[in-house]
Amino acid sequence: MTDSAAQSTRFTADRLLVFGATGDLSQRMLLPSLCALSHDGLLSSALKITGTARSAMSDAEFRNFARAALEKHLPANRRGGMADFLNRLAYQPLDASTVEGFDALAQKVGTPKQGLAIFLSTAPSLFEPTIAGLQSAGLTGANVRIGLEKPLGSDLASSREINDAVAAAFSEDRIFRIDHYLGKETVQNLLALRFANLLFEPIWNANYIDHVQITVAETVGLESRVAYYDDSGALRDMVQNHMLQLLALVAMEPPTSFDATAVRDEKVKVLRSLRRVEESESVTGQYRTGVVGGKSVPGYDEELGKDSETETFVAIKAHVDNWRWKGVPFYLRTGKRLPERVTEIVIQFRCVPHSIFQSRGARTQPNRLVIGIQPEENIHLSLMAKVPGLDREGIRLRPVPLDISMPDAFAGAVKRIAYERLLLDLLEGDQTLFVRRDEVEAQWEWIDAIRALWAREGLTPRAYPAGHWGPSAAIALVERDGISWHE
């Protein structure tokens, strides 16, 4: 469907159906986001929200459950009108593995006047039976759209199975695949930085950029994700979705407009241009006992309770083989039990071609742009400046930072949970910040090739102490190119 056609059929849903309504994601993100949107008057007064899960609850019990989640996870200054929000909620128990019970669910949801939005956060094994149940109950009509929370498969083949099952009931213009990183304010600001400032776009290419680093570091271990994470690992949990989406936003060509089709067309071109990773271009690791934040923490195998070859750290040297980025390496790094929690993008520019200050003893350093995504949202640009003085012993130059803290730059603006934007876009039908099927499949194709390489070469994770930046081989990965990780 073209954007004009999608625009003509766009509707604002007046019913929202949330699968997995009693789960961790619902408690931490979905219910707080919806309540905050309600508090700010951004939800239609007609919107009714139905939660469903296996747990047996009445409407009243679910509202009490939701109240407890809001009091725990939503700041007090954003809970205004909580009673009104809770009155929007209803609940219907359901075993999604069988079609029995979906008719009762449809009756509970009621007949929407405008349309129904479904948020599906469930195990991959339940996607097909859930879609079948929705179809059997008449909950897949033209005025219904669906949001899909990851994981959407564990490889290209299983991803296609899930996408085929969903496509049997929903056209692509009604499928909203969620990557919550795309809802983060600073991630979207990356597009504004590139395409709303003449300063950057002319130099955003291989002529001026030496390399790019993308780091997603966590201090936590397994927490409550033991079974899922050991089946997944860092490559599939983080690189396949979040990190490749960040890479695509950094490397994409300027879209013709800021709409779903134009933006996603350019992202998928980047993903299809990714060169296959060679054996020397990836490092995996698994954390052992160490110290994080001054506290002793167990190793991965101790947390898991058994030996495992699942990687908790991965570093990759990637290449985008197109005109703009030929010869520019993209270094990706992610892991658990690292020294600090940080997500950032580093754009390292090249050195000036000739330094007029060298004969006076001054050394120049290349400019560097650091885009911080979490825990702090900021933009840091280092520029060379002269150190004040009479310079009788030579000119001294030093990098001077230009820092923009996004919360400070926009004082008074509400700092929103990423899911607030994504849920609102789902309700209103805007797909710009959601992932299209061809994007997902291009990501999986690249990831599957890496996993096949590891299996073929018998590569297993190297041990690293918790609280360190991964195994030493990750440092060697970049140092043999004459650079260092930004820390």
Exposure of 11 by Cβ count < 10 A (0-12 exposed, 13-18 middle, 19+ buried)?
A: middle
Same-domain pairing of 410 and 353: yes
Residue 283 CB coordination number (10 Å): 25
Same-domain pairing of 38 and 122: yes
Task: Pick the closest to residue 101 from 129, 62, 66 (CA basis).
Answer: 129
CA 316 from centre of chain: 18
Token look-up 């979207």 returns 188
Same-domain pairing of 174 and 195: no
Whole-number pLDDT of residue 4: 40
Same-domain pairing of 171 and 252: no
- Contacts of range 164-168, beta carbons closer than 8 Å, 24 or more positions apart: 165/127, 165/128, 165/131, 166/127, 166/131, 167/437, 168/131, 168/135
Inside any domain, residue 10: no
Altogether, the residues listed in the chain come to a count of 487
Residue 187: its H or E element: helix 185-195
Q: Which of 178, 199, 217 is the last residue of a domain?
A: 178
Q: Which of 144, 178, 212 is the last residue of a domain?
A: 178
Residue-range definition of the domain harbouring residue 468? 182-480
In angstroms, rounded to a whole number, what is the distance separating the alpha carbons of residues 150 and 199? 36
Mean pLDDT for all residues in the chain: 90
Compute the average pLDDT of residues 426-448.
96
Across 13-27, 380-394, 423-437, least confident range = 380-394
Number of domain units in the chain: 2
Q: Is the dihedral of CA 55, 99, 134, 439 positive or negative?
A: positive
Q: Which residues have a catalytic role annotated?
A: 242
Same-domain pairing of 163 and 311: no
Same-domain pairing of 320 and 382: yes
Exposure of 224 by Cβ count < 10 A (0-12 exposed, 13-18 middle, 19+ buried)?
A: exposed
Inside any domain, residue 199: yes
CA atoms within 13 A on the CB side of 2: 3
Confidence of residue 417 (pLDDT cuts 50, 70, 90): confident
pLDDT digits 0-9 by tens, 325-354: 999 999 999 999 999 999 999 999 998 888
Task: Pick the closest to residue 374 from 406, 333, 335, 410 (CA basis).
Answer: 406
Amino acid identity for residue 113 in this structure: K
Compute the average pLDDT of residues 455-460.
94
Is the pLDDT at 1 greater than 50, yes or no? no
In angstroms, rounded to a whole number, what is the distance separating the alpha carbons of residues 146 and 160? 17
Same-domain pairing of 118 and 140: yes
Same-domain pairing of 437 and 310: yes
Whole-number pLDDT of residue 451: 97
Same-domain pairing of 286 and 160: no
Inside any domain, residue 3: no
At 424, is the secondary structure helix, strand, or coil? helix
Whole-number pLDDT of residue 31: 96
Q: Which of 158, 178, 198 is the last residue of a domain?
A: 178
Task: Identify whether 151 is preceded by a cis peptide bond (ω within 30 of 0).
Answer: yes
Inside any domain, residue 79: yes
Task: Pick the closest to residue 122 from 94, 89, 148, 157 (CA basis).
Answer: 148
pLDDT digits 0-9 by tens, 271-284: 999 999 999 999 99
In angstroms, rounded to a whole number, what is the distance separating the alpha carbons of residues 88 and 403? 43
Which domain CATH number covers 34? Answer: 3.40.50.720
pLDDT digits 0-9 by tens, 213-260: 999 999 999 876 777 788 899 999 999 999 999 999 999 999 999 999
Whole-number pLDDT of residue 243: 96
Known binding site for NADP(+): residues? Answer: 54, 150
pLDDT digits 0-9 by tens, 143-175: 999 999 988 889 999 999 999 999 999 999 999
Same-domain pairing of 270 and 344: yes
Sequence-distant (6+) residues with CB within 8 A of 317 are: 277, 281, 282, 329, 330, 331, 477, 478, 481
Across 127-141, 403-417, 453-467, least confident range = 403-417
In angstroms, rounded to a whole number, what is the distance separating the alpha carbons of residues 311 and 304? 13
Whole-number pLDDT of residue 395: 73
Are 373 and 186 in contact by the 8 Å Cβ rule? The answer is: yes
In angstroms, rounded to a whole number, what is the distance separating the alpha carbons of residues 12 and 100? 29
Is the pLDDT at 115 greater than 60, yes or no? yes
* pTM, two decimal places: 0.91
Confidence of residue 72 (pLDDT cuts 50, 70, 90): very high
In angstroms, rounded to a whole number, what is the distance separating the alpha carbons of residues 321 and 254? 17
Token look-up 């909203």 returns 176
Same-domain pairing of 133 and 229: no
Whole-number pLDDT of residue 458: 93
Are 119 and 107 in contact by the 8 Å Cβ rule? The answer is: no
Inside any domain, residue 21: yes
In angstroms, rounded to a whole number, what is the distance separating the alpha carbons of residues 35 and 253? 37
In angstroms, rounded to a whole number, what is the distance separating the alpha carbons of residues 382 and 362? 17
Same-domain pairing of 121 and 197: no
Inside any domain, residue 312: yes
Is the pLDDT at 300 greater than 80, yes or no? yes
In angstroms, rounded to a whole number, what is the distance separating the alpha carbons of residues 11 and 3? 14
Task: Pick the closest to residue 91 from 73, 114, 65 (CA basis).
Answer: 65
Inside any domain, residue 404: yes
Residue 452 CB coordination number (10 Å): 12
Whole-number pLDDT of residue 7: 43
Compute the average pLDDT of residues 123-142.
92
Known binding site for substrate: residues? Answer: 180, 184, 218, 237, 336
Whole-number pLDDT of residue 3: 47
pLDDT digits 0-9 by tens, 42-70: 999 999 999 999 999 999 999 999 999 99
Q: Which two tokens stand for residue 167?
A: 């496509």
Token look-up 């407890």 returns 68
At 71, is the secondary structure helix, strand, or coil? helix
Which domain CATH number covers 397? Answer: 3.30.360.10
Inside any domain, residue 4: no
Known binding site: residues? Answer: 54, 150, 180, 184, 218, 237, 336
